[in-house]
Amino acid sequence: MAAVRCIYCSRALPSAQVAASNGEVWCDGCRESSSVIALPALLEDGKPKPPPLIEAPGEGDAACFYSPGRKATKECGHCGVLISDVWAAQWGSKVVCLKCLEHLRETTKDATFQSKRVLWDNITALLALTPFTLVLYFLAPFTAPAAVLLGLWHWNSPRSLVPRSRLRLVLGLLLGLLQVGGGVFVICGLWFGWFK
């Protein structure tokens, strides 16, 4: 059985104490109390499994699509090929082959499999808003064109995994364009003497 960890100092808490206190536990390490809900998975043997042995397919057995020398034990839930344990990745209740996992993450950008995203809409909005702060106004000649370029370049890039509109991107783009336009107007005005 695995040990429940203290929420503050990660010290292993004795299960007997968790049981006796009915979930309200006191850690002797950091002298803090916390509430713990112990779940059945705590009782499972979490012993790390050794890597699967190479088992050649026997008479009538299917061979792994990627390693023909291995016996196929699973089927990829995405492309359907038969694969051995070493080529299989458990993803929630699904099993996918490693090739599909990489393809889904990197190429297809599947929301169920992706692990990280850069939020270009937020970056564009921040760049456009930077000059409006009290102390960073002098950065406008750099941030405004950058906001416009980033906004246009990443117009179709995926935003947050939680779907949202292009409002931030549009806002950043408009503010950036406004600043660039204003800058061009001032430079032209000074150059051609419009303000005299």
User: Applying CB under 8 A, which residues contact another protein?
Assistant: 1-12, 14-16, 18-20, 22, 29, 32-48, 92-93, 111-112, 114-119, 122-123, 125-126, 160-164, 168
Please report the sign of the dihedral spanned by the C-alpha atoms of residue 41, residue 42, residue 44, residue 46: positive
Structure tokens at 137: 């106004």
Quote the tokens at residue 119: 């939020």
- CB of 45 or CB of 59, closer to another protein: 45
Q: Of 53 and 135, which has the nearer Cβ to another protein?
A: 135
CB of 126 to another protein, least distance (A): 5
Largest Cα–Cα distance in the chain? 95
CA 189, CA 179: separation in Å to the nearest integer? 15
What's the min distance (Å) between Cβ of 42 and another protein?
4
- Taking alpha carbons only, the member of 7, 33, 31 closest to residue 22 is 33
> What is the closest distance, in whole angstroms, from the C-beta atom of residue 83 to another protein in the complex?
20
Output 9 or 188, the one with its CB closest to another protein: 9
**CA separation, residue 138 to residues 134, 144, 163, 170, 181 (Å):** 10, 11, 34, 23, 16
Radius of gyration of the chain (CA): 29
Least distance CB 35 / another protein (angstroms): 5
Closer Cβ to another protein, 18 or 104, answer by number? 18
Instruction: Tell the smallest beta-carbon distance from residue 47 to another protein (Å).
Output: 5
Closer to another protein by CB, 29 or 182: give it: 29
